[in-house]
Structure 1
Amino acid sequence: MSVVVTDCRTEYLTEPLGLDVLQPRLFWKIASDERHVHQSAYRILVSASRDSLSRDVGEMWDSGRLESDQSTHITYEGTALASDTDYFWKVCVWTGKDSSPVWSEPQRWSMGILSRTGWKAQWIGRKADPGLEKQPAPLFRKEIHAAADVKRAMVYVTALGIYQLRVNGEIVSHLFAPGWTDYNKRVQVQAFDVTSKLHQGSNAIGAILGEGWYSGTVGFLHDKVYGERPFLFLQLSVEYTDGTKELFVTDGSWKTADGPIRYSDFIKGELYDATAERTEWDEAGYDDADWQLPDIRPGYNGLLTAAIEPPIRITRTLKPISVRKTETGTYIYDMGQNMVGWTELTVAGERGTKVTLSHAEMLNPDGTLYLENLREAVQQDHYILNGGGEERYEPHFTFHGFRYVELIGYPGEPDLDTIIGKVVHSDTAVAGSLTTSDPMVNKLYSNITWGQRGNFLSVPTDCPQRDERLGWTGDAQIFARAATYNMDVSRFFEKFIGDMIDAQQPSGAFTDVAPDAGWIRHKMWNTRLNWSAPDNAGWGDAGVIIPWTVYLMYGDRRILETHYDAMVRWIEYLISMSDHFVRPAYANYGDWLSIDADTPKDVLATAYFAYSAKVMGLISETLGKTDDKRRFDQCFADISAAFRQAFVDEQGRIHGETQTVYVLALQFGLLTPEQQLQAAAHLAEDIRARGNRLSTGFLGVGYLLPALTDHGHLDLAYTLLLQEEFPSWMYSIKHGATTIWERWDGWTEHNGFQTPSMNSFNHYSLGSVGEWMFRYMAGLEADPEKPGFKHAVIQPHPDGRVTSVQASYDSLYGRHEVRWEVTESGGFLLQVTVPANTTATVHVPGRNVVSEASLTPSYTSGRRTASFQVGSGTWAFTSQLAREQRDGIVIIG
């Protein structure tokens, strides 16, 4: 049997640096070409040196042989870990009682600074230039002397603002670090190994600061939300080969000056003057005699925490697909894809020539850029040429949401190689893939992933182009499950939940956006729109729903344990704000941007109240909190009864009679069995009365197709998925969409563009249908009893209009795959792949079910579905599906 231990991780990461988790969790995968491969035991060694680890010595921790099939979330239980120290580990596994041990390759992680007393650096900044509304990005430099050959050098760096770090002329940091947090509460610290960048003798450390989320333009509050100007904080720990150590920190001895970035702002764009460049300013030997000494900030009251979120990076580049010259002499490029990031410019011309890059998502009917939906955002970057040859430019501390780029003031005749699109987002690795026989369904899935790619940038933003870009909690919770299938968002959501906890109010209410960004403090919605609800159903509930989603998909108990008290406070707050378990109708948003349907806000709020209580019962059970489980289960029962009493009549009609009220009641389990049948019928009736069209907004859409599928209307779920008439997912695709639109009617043939004040063309919420595509259409589901896909439930729901589906998902155990095909005669072919150290229950629809391995089935649904228990490996099944005609359509299923 061939067995390999692969993909070892620490805290979800490959060889992470600067952790501050005192008991890191370890992960590994097992790969094998055999069936039924299970880990029977493991042994972990952790050492403070590679040498001792190579000799199979784990002086920090030797777990000994442990009889266990667990290969994820193994908590370190060795000697206490030290600050600013490297550790090395490996694991060996056994896959049977008498099997030989198989060792992994050695792995590394490092600990960051673990106490406040370990920080010796000071916060340094540059005083503002008087009279300038937009300040230049300050440069900082320090020349240091390495006394001997460098054995280890680790730099810990952060900023109030955002920074770019350079060592001896080379950029070593990520984009937009340290990321967005509530700077009044905490700021993330990044660690970088710069051992190979330093040498004995003179070295230079350089940094550029941007306003970022700290003092730049953010959301509706415009700018200066957390502070007036940015500050840098850096600590470089150097160990020499002779055993001595030295510490270099930001302090009053550094030097600062302005530079060519005359301003750079997330919302207002960038101006770069290449004539003001300071050549080799970030290298040793540079003359900085005319630079200023920095301004010292007295202190910082927030927490310095190790970075949790994935780094922001350029993940791909795109070439434009066309360019045309306008009547005014500018050039408009089509990138072929609505994207987030910026454009890199190649240009040559006279010194002082100014070139502008203007960005937009759509074009007006006359071919000009559609800019009205940007509100106060200015998606323009300006570059002033230095002259003397070919120059390349890309912005530093801004990003844009766009498909079209207008090139203004270009000297000469540009071509398709003049600009390149840089795609930028939090680097969450691709986890899933989904391909079907239907090209438009495939395009829908592509649009969903591009929407996630464009809006997962430090926080899950609502849109990447207008003057907002906030971490809306309701949008995130409805899309969270789809997001986990698409990409590895384990760390991304862990960080975002921390943002929600930071913003939680003393009352227990979770906020509408996180980080807060001054939202509560300034009451901006209250003053501008008279929206002053203390909480909003579906938004605040993200504080319970997202942690549970992370647990289901990754098996992460720690996120439940860490935030349990905060979740309890949310439920207790909802109880206090309810009238005999019925929530009031004060919410601001409701089923946001529903189409021709007005869901009563008290119905929606009470339904979500029930769901949060239901999930809290599950969380309490998971954590072994028996008394709390009883309490929350009773709370759910009481809310459900109150819901039925207040909102459901004898015919099972729910107050408001919108698709969303039926969908939420069905999916949240609020109805009696008889009422479920009635509600499902009313839901189907409403859809058909609308010409097989949906009316759900943000909160209803994610549950719409699951509710139909779970309650006997699979055919209608597929009809809505494939619907091409307005409103539908396919309508936008028919009209050129390459991302998910914010609203169903963002653009229509009969009305053109919707109101520009709320009309993003890159917004992931309505893409929550991606969850149904994986869980129901492909049939790839996590088992809550063995979460994280330790045990998978594979239950495809074929229809026949989509004749084939191929889906995969990379769990913490390996790749799960489902492939199915429906033949013209109704034959159903299913192939599933289950990774080593996991199992699956496979439900095969249809009659005359055959498994190629002669497995013994059990039967459900009146023998219409055969179920099989399988171990790891690849398995094939066949069956015969029923054929029937409904509404003039031949349905196979």
Structure 2
Amino acid sequence: MLNETAAELPSSSRTHARTWTAQMVRPKADRGVGTPASFIAKTFILDKISGREVLDISALGLYLCFINGTRVGADVLTPGWTAYDARLSYQTYDVSSLLVAGENRIEIWLGDGWLRSQLMWGKFPIYNTWGSQIAALAELRSAPGDANPVLVTDASWESGELPIRKSGIYFGETYDAQIQPTVSAGTEAIDFNHDRLVAHETTPVRELEPLKAIKSWTDNEGRQVFDFAQNVGGYVAISVSGSAGATVVIEHAEVLDKDGNFYNVNYRTAEATVTYTLSGQGTESYRPHFTFQGFRYARVAVEGDAKLVDIRSIPISSVTEQKASFTSGNELVNRLFLNTLWSQRGNFIEVPTDCPQRDERLGWTGDAQVFAGTAAYLGEVHGFFQKWVRDLMVDQRDDGAVPHVCPDPTRMQPEHYPGFFGSTGWGDAIYQVPWQVYLHYGDTAFLEEVLPNMVKWVDFVWSISDGPIVSPPREWGARGFSFGDWLQPKGPSAKPLPTIGDDAAATIYLHIAAKQVAQIAEIVGDAATAQRLGKMAEEVKSAFVSEFITASGRLAYDDQTSYALAILHDLVPAEKLEAAKGYFKNTIARTEGRIGTGFIGTPALLPALIKIGEWGLASEVFLQEEVPGWLYQVKMGATTIWERWDAIQADGTIYNPQMNSYNHYAYGAVCQWLIEGVAGFRPDEKDPAFKTVIFEPLILPDLSPVSAEHDSPAGQIRAAWTISGEAVRYELEVPAQSRGILKLASGYRDATLDGEALASHEATLSPGKHIVTFNYTAPKRTERAKSRVNANTP
């Protein structure tokens, strides 16, 4: 049963409260977590059909609803995943076409889902996280808004077991088609606070276009392996025929090992297996009901008299429409963009998860905060992020610490995961995500809603060391523990490269947080908070300079992340900037042009190089194809973004499977730079939601021709450029209800706009299409880059 006092409802939930007649009822047939799924059902009479009937429905656990044998809606994994003790979504469906005058029957199937199946990993998995009882709540109304529902869930409903013999988010699903749903017990109402119910706030999870296998083969044990050519979050759909009692067992994998064998050791304790037992009634079709997996490959074992007729990969996602595109003259870069899109699809399943395959699949805050800007270009995420941040507000601790993951299973059961909150770079999602929502959708009300929680976070970070220099403890679970620059490559083992210290990373992020939240406070009219946090940001900056920048301009840890973050956020004093630039370039030279950054440093690396005028070096770092590098994984056959730069070695050897995901979107944050930097358009923070669009192209000749589009809230935005010799042609389109501002770099010469010479490097653009031309001298290649180009030239 849910803990009725575990968390206070956020104001956003309370304002959406409505009056409910239905009770939350549990099936007495249910035997607990890991046992057969159950249903509740009711036969009822309707005198007439209005043609406007709607069903409001929710559940503890996951549900599927059927009226007169037909499924209600097409949403997957309903009611979704929230901080269930404070917020539970309900869905509303038009069901008029499913009803008849006279006798009707409704069945609600219930599975364990996120509510009570395994979450977390290793020796201490958590079960029954938000409750031990699955249950459902539903109201049928003759028309939307009718005060008196014609049917509600109560203790008069029946219950029984389902053919789903076991299901779990990590486990998979076991289904026996020989078993028919049969009433075997009643139901009972359970204590439930209806104020927790909120109308579904985001786009529902839906199935995307099925993928066919591009090839298949039989392994040494007679099992068929299917390659769907794309790593996804979703499940397999099969059609089979054969005798009753025969079984089909489906396992999932993202990669093959170096010898071409099916490999899913990196799933750790997630069984990720689907088992279907045939009924023997002709051709049978099946897909899982209450689970999903991350996979590219499926291994199928048939036991008994059965034949696999068809198999498809079914991707699922909360992000069902592609909102942006980017192409260039480099096919590896184009595939990198597509990989990022697929990683977002596979991980934006109700919450922004780290990965969809292993015993984790959690809403890691660090991943979300670095990727939020990219996400807002690639898909419709307004409601998606609003919903998730509201859960983040619930999970935030009383002292302001923001959890590492949200919804946070450890808040309800902290015994084996103490202190699973409070890391800089991760908790910053509390303001970074709403800020991106503001930039892309102009949602000032959401900034105002979350501002108090943002301020609590900033004050928490200050309190870690009671001052402007933040010194996080090293021990996991200690107050203020920091992940630092997570998964930062260390270089050769014989002489590891320097990496940013936790204190420098945390202090930089305190500055970023205080400055950004001060700006947000100013936007929403909270002058006192804006002034206080603005002063805090200046104090942190001053302390950072004293503590971490030497007299010569070298940063204390002398690594790529330190310079990238400090330069990008203006923490280096003007008199030391030239020296710092030199040291920054040296960190690139020491890595031989490769990336030396992790989760928090990587999104800042290329923008920082561009900011100091090192366009050529930025291009070289981005385009180099060795590990660590963005394009290395593409060359190795990746179809989504990897968690680790070195997830597969050059010889095909797989890195330590204890933490190795092949579908982690965080490093795909570089796509924001491709759109905003290279293609050159972005929202104006002074006039958000693309009411004003800033066009500022970054000409990197090795990427020509470049083209990008974005279906923004204001309309379609397009930008494309080509370079021939030193001549650049930049074509752009401003949405009909917007205005554009063109900004050209000082090195661009002889510029024209729509055939007229430009007197300056900035111009206002009216809605519609425009053509800009100018001349540009490409930066010289380094000897390393020349060697790389020569080596790759046929």
TM-aligned CA distance change 1:226 to 1:533, over 3 Å? closer
- Between the aligned partners of 1:427 and 1:843, the Cα distance in structure 2 is 32
Deviation of residue 390 (structure 1)? 1.1
| Residue among 401, 410, 415 paired with 1:518 | 410
- Between the aligned partners of 1:113 and 1:576, the Cα distance in structure 2 is 32
Kindly report which structure 2 residues correspond to 1:89-488, keeping only aligned pairs within 5 A, or say none.
115=17, 118-127=19-28, 134-173=34-73, 174-220=75-121, 221-239=125-143, 246-278=149-181, 290-300=183-193, 303-409=196-302, 418-488=310-380
- Between the aligned partners of 1:485 and 1:382, the Cα distance in structure 2 is 38
Deviation of residue 229 (structure 1)? 2.7
Deviation of residue 753 (structure 1)? 1.5
TM-aligned CA distance change 1:235 to 1:301, over 3 Å? closer
Contact 2:365 2:406 in 1 (8 A): yes
In the other structure, the counterpart of 1:101 is none
User: Which 5+ residue runs of structure 1 have no aligned equivalent?
Assistant: 1-19, 24-110, 279-287, 527-531, 860-865
TM-aligned CA distance change 1:751 to 1:656, over 3 Å? farther
Deviation of residue 149 (structure 1)? 3.1
SS at match of 1:348: strand
CA deviations 1:272-329 (Å, max 9, x no partner) are 1000034xxxxxxxxx7x5321132133376111111210010121000000011211
In the other structure, the counterpart of 1:772 is 673
| Residue among 577, 580, 585 paired with 2:472 | 585
CA deviations 1:747-785 (Å, max 9, x no partner) are 112582111110000000111111111110111111111
- Between the aligned partners of 2:554 and 2:615, the Cα distance in structure 1 is 21
In the other structure, the counterpart of 1:69 is none
In the other structure, the counterpart of 1:607 is 508
TM-aligned CA distance change 1:113 to 1:827, over 3 Å? closer
- Between the aligned partners of 1:835 and 1:714, the Cα distance in structure 2 is 29
In the other structure, the counterpart of 1:499 is 391
SS at match of 1:477: helix
Contact 1:585 1:600 in 2 (8 A): no
| Residue among 564, 569, 572 paired with 2:459 | 572
SS at match of 1:252: coil
- Between the aligned partners of 1:873 and 1:22, the Cα distance in structure 2 is 42
TM-aligned CA distance change 1:22 to 1:813, over 3 Å? farther
- Between the aligned partners of 1:829 and 1:409, the Cα distance in structure 2 is 59
SS at match of 1:294: strand
- Between the aligned partners of 1:119 and 1:684, the Cα distance in structure 2 is 63
- Between the aligned partners of 2:141 and 2:11, the Cα distance in structure 1 is 20
Contact 2:63 2:110 in 1 (8 A): yes
- Between the aligned partners of 1:461 and 1:503, the Cα distance in structure 2 is 16
SS at match of 2:142: strand
| Residue among 510, 530, 555 paired with 1:654 | 555
Amino acid at match of 1:446: L
CA deviations 1:66-92 (Å, max 9, x no partner) are xxxxxxxxxxxxxxxxxxxxxxxxxxx
Deviation of residue 265 (structure 1)? 0.9
User: Which 5+ residue runs of structure 2 have no aligned equivalent?
Assistant: 1-8, 474-480, 491-497, 789-794
Kindly report which structure 2 residues correspond to 1:802-881, keeping only aligned pairs within 5 A, or say none.
802-823=703-724, 825-845=725-745, 846-852=748-754, 854=756, 857-859=758-760, 866-881=761-776
CA deviations 1:671-726 (Å, max 9, x no partner) are 21233332232122111221111110011001111111111111111111111011
In the other structure, the counterpart of 1:641 is 542
- Number of residue-to-residue matches in the alignment: 758
Q: Which region of structure 1 is more displaced relative to structure 2, 651-660 or 406-415?
A: 406-415
- Between the aligned partners of 1:883 and 1:508, the Cα distance in structure 2 is 48
TM-aligned CA distance change 1:457 to 1:133, over 3 Å? closer
TM-aligned CA distance change 1:533 to 1:399, over 3 Å? closer
Deviation of residue 593 (structure 1)? 0.5
Contact 2:29 2:161 in 1 (8 A): no
Contact 1:112 1:191 in 2 (8 A): no
- Between the aligned partners of 2:224 and 2:487, the Cα distance in structure 1 is 35
Amino acid at match of 1:551: Y
Deviation of residue 196 (structure 1)? 2.6
Contact 2:257 2:654 in 1 (8 A): no
Deviation of residue 631 (structure 1)? 1.5
- Between the aligned partners of 1:546 and 1:293, the Cα distance in structure 2 is 45
In the other structure, the counterpart of 1:16 is none
Identity of aligned residues (%): 33
Contact 1:150 1:199 in 2 (8 A): no
Deviation of residue 197 (structure 1)? 2.3
SS at match of 1:328: coil
SS at match of 1:730: helix
**Normalised by the size of structure 2, how large is the TM-score?**
0.92
Contact 2:33 2:112 in 1 (8 A): no
Contact 1:547 1:559 in 2 (8 A): yes
Contact 2:709 2:719 in 1 (8 A): yes
In the other structure, the counterpart of 1:792 is 693
Contact 2:488 2:596 in 1 (8 A): yes
In the other structure, the counterpart of 1:704 is 605
Pair 1:689 & 2:593 matched: no
Contact 1:428 1:489 in 2 (8 A): no
- Between the aligned partners of 1:624 and 1:871, the Cα distance in structure 2 is 31
Contact 1:124 1:250 in 2 (8 A): yes
Deviation of residue 113 (structure 1)? 11
TM-aligned CA distance change 1:274 to 1:584, over 3 Å? same
Amino acid at match of 1:592: W
Contact 1:844 1:877 in 2 (8 A): no
In the other structure, the counterpart of 1:508 is 400
SS at match of 2:468: coil
Deviation of residue 418 (structure 1)? 2.1
TM-aligned CA distance change 1:806 to 1:356, over 3 Å? same
- Between the aligned partners of 1:713 and 1:780, the Cα distance in structure 2 is 20
Deviation of residue 883 (structure 1)? 4.0
Contact 1:348 1:411 in 2 (8 A): no
TM-aligned CA distance change 1:477 to 1:884, over 3 Å? closer
Deviation of residue 799 (structure 1)? 1.5
- Between the aligned partners of 2:324 and 2:263, the Cα distance in structure 1 is 33
Give the root-mean-square deviation of aligned CA atoms. Answer: 2.4
TM-aligned CA distance change 1:786 to 1:815, over 3 Å? same
Contact 1:153 1:193 in 2 (8 A): yes
Deviation of residue 658 (structure 1)? 1.3
Q: Which region of structure 1 is more displaced relative to structure 2, 357-366 or 551-560?
A: 357-366
Kindly report which structure 2 residues correspond to 1:745-760, keeping only aligned pairs within 5 A, or say none.
745-749=646-650, 752-760=653-661
SS at match of 2:210: strand
In the other structure, the counterpart of 2:488 is 594
TM-aligned CA distance change 1:519 to 1:756, over 3 Å? farther
TM-aligned CA distance change 1:301 to 1:147, over 3 Å? closer
- Between the aligned partners of 2:224 and 2:118, the Cα distance in structure 1 is 29
Higher normalized strand content (fraction of residues): 1
Amino acid at match of 2:717: H
- Between the aligned partners of 1:664 and 1:128, the Cα distance in structure 2 is 56
TM-aligned CA distance change 1:794 to 1:410, over 3 Å? farther
Deviation of residue 234 (structure 1)? 0.7
**Normalised by the size of structure 1, how large is the TM-score?**
0.82
| Residue among 435, 447, 470 paired with 1:548 | 435
